[in-house]
Amino acid sequence: MATDLSARLSAHENKGLYRKRLTLEGPQATDVTIDGKRYLAFCSNDYLGLANHSALIEAACHGARTYGVGSGASHLITGHSTAHHALEHALAQFVGLPQALLFSTGYMANMAVITALVGRGDAVFADKLNHASLNDAIVLSRATFTRYPHLELARLERCLADTKASRKLVATDAVFSMDGDIAPVAELLALCERYDAWLLLDDAHGFGVLGKQGQGILHAVDGFDLQSPRLIYMATLGKAAGVFGAFVAAQPEVIAALIQFAHSYGYTTATPPLLAHTLLTSLSLIEREVWRREILTAHRLRLSRGLQSCRWPLLPSATPIQPLRVGRSEEAVRLSAALREQGILVPAIRPPTVPKGEARLRISLSAAHSKEDVDRLIEALHAVAGNV
């Protein structure tokens, strides 16, 4: 067994797919220290630059003094605090849906929604480029699993029309994490209305970033019906919100079903209430500080202009996720290493995270980056283009 596992690991490494962890020696920021060396980092999901914000640090300290460190139990025993309750209410109001429910991670939230709402004999339809958590949840649910080509709604409609299942769910990323493109949510909801299906939107990378006040994908599309009973909205709180956790917002019946039937909600210890307390401050900053999103837009345009003549093309994306398509995994790894030699961290993304032949550098922009930071990355990419 051990020999087989070693051979598998060696083969994985020979394909340029072996991953190694970097250990930060300090807080998440645009400038980080690893093994005593400083790097300019373009690899964080801290899109608004809140992860090390002084107001959130103070809120966390106040939350610890008020609620202690651990929650001590699951939400269904005695782990649900007034901090959790207040945050759920605030999140529901913020995204414009009736109720919200907190989870430890987006992975657990997606697992909860899909396994609690569908099962054997039901049907789930998922975009080909969805996050792994959605795919894993669908497999675990035992529902019939159909993947439609990326953003091909005509194919999705044919699948919805052909299915005999009585319960149907369409699951999609709102912002696709490796491409940075955005799902056509209004059209998807129209299809779900027409064919009597739920629509699960995973807005992990849109919450806090999209919409004038950062309310996410639901407020970034004109004419979107926020009150549809078919809409189930999931967003994470460890990316743009800068802290930790996730939530699902939906109709009261959906939230009640998750509380009653979702294993990843009922059978795990609640997140520390100090984090929920901290997230109330984060939510206020997201709503008030519109300038953070304006800086992200400026950085994105600056990067796009600066890399127009670059050897590797940027994929079209109106989000902080800016993928630089390289192609071969080995070349993407070498390019990432060459940038690291210049003190810049940009991760190489390889299969199975992206399709074979679609390896890339995933540039993640933050409001905490300066114009000079973006220019430094542009110059470095042009400099290494002839040597990789």
Q: What is the CATH number of the domain that holds 354?
A: 3.90.1150.10
pLDDT in tens, 297-355: 999 999 999 999 999 999 999 999 999 999 998 899 999 999 999 999 999 998 888 88
- Tokens (6 digits) for 169: 């769910």
Check residue 205 and report its DSSP letter: T
Looking at the fold, whether 130 and 278 belong to one and the same domain comes out as yes
Axis-axis angle for helices 82-95, 273-288 (nearest 10): 30
What pLDDT is stored for residue 353 in this prediction? 85
Average pLDDT, the chain: 95
Give the confidence band of 222 by pLDDT, cuts at 50, 70, 90: low
4 contact partners, CB below 8 Å, separation of at least 6: none
Asked whether residue 12 is assigned to any structural domain, the reply reads no
Give the tens place of pLDDT for each residue, 57-78: 999 999 999 999 999 999 999 9
Specify if 15 maps to a domain: no
Last residue of a domain, one of 288, 305, 340: 288
Residues 236 and 376 in one domain: no
The number of CA neighbours under 13 Å toward the Cβ of 132 is: 6
Q: What is the CATH number of the domain that holds 175?
A: 3.40.640.10
CB atoms within 10 A of CB 313: 13
Annotated binding site for substrate: 19, 131, 353
**DSSP bridge partners of 246:** 103, 236
Same domain membership, residue 184 and residue 84: yes
Asked whether residue 6 is assigned to any structural domain, the reply reads no
> Does residue 139 surpass a pLDDT of 80?
yes
Euclidean distance between the first and final Cα of the chain, in Å? 38
**How far apart are the C-alpha atoms of 107 and 115, rounded to whole Å?**
12
Position 15 scores a pLDDT of 76
What value does the CA radius of gyration of the chain take, rounded to a whole number of Å?
A: 21
Q: Is residue 200 part of a domain?
A: yes
Q: Which residues pair with 147 in a beta bridge?
A: 126
Answer whether residue 221 is part of any domain. Answer: yes
One domain for residues 216 and 309: no
Only one residue has tokens 């967003």, namely 235
Q: What is the predicted pLDDT for the residue at 351? A: 87
Tokens 């080909």 -> residue: 128
pLDDT-based confidence at 1, cuts 50/70/90? confident
Same domain, 29 and 73: no
Residue 91: is its pLDDT beyond 90? yes
The percentage of residues in the chain with a pLDDT greater than 70, rounded to a whole number, is 98
Q: How does pLDDT run across 17-60, given as a tens digit for each residue?
A: 788 888 999 999 999 999 999 999 999 999 999 999 999 999 99
Decide if 252 is inside a domain.
yes
**Is 13 part of any domain?**
no
Which is it for strands 37-41 and 344-345: parallel, antiparallel or unpaired? parallel
Alpha carbons 264 and 187: distance in angstroms, whole number: 30
Q: Is residue 2 part of a domain?
A: no
Q: Are residues 87 and 136 in the same domain?
A: yes
Same domain (yes/no): 303, 362: yes
Domain count, the chain: 2
Residue range 157-175, pLDDT digits in tens: 999 999 999 999 999 999 9
Domain region containing 118: 54-288
Q: What residues are designated binding site?
A: 19, 106-107, 131, 177, 205, 236, 353
CA 175 to chain centroid: 8
Question: Bigger pLDDT: 297 or 1?
Answer: 297
Same domain, 41 and 92: no
pLDDT of residue 183: 96
Residues 196 and 340 in one domain: no
Q: At what angle do helices 329-341 and 371-384 cross, to 10 degrees?
A: 120
- From 268, 288, 308, the end of a domain falls on 288
Q: What is the mean pLDDT of residues 108-137?
A: 97
What is the identity of the amino acid at 182?
I
| Same-domain status, 242 and 368 | no
End-of-domain residue from the set 253, 288, 323 = 288
User: How do 348-349 and 359-364 pair as beta strands?
Assistant: antiparallel
Q: What is the pTM of this model?
A: 0.95
Binding residues for pyridoxal 5'-phosphate: 106-107, 177, 205, 236
Asked if the model's pLDDT at residue 223 lies above 60, the reply is: no
**Residues 198, 142: one domain?**
yes
Q: Are 200 and 313 in the same domain?
A: no
Q: What is the mean pLDDT of residues 109-136?
A: 97
Q: How far apart are CA 300 and CA 297, in angstroms?
A: 5
- Flag whether pLDDT at 16 surpasses 60: yes
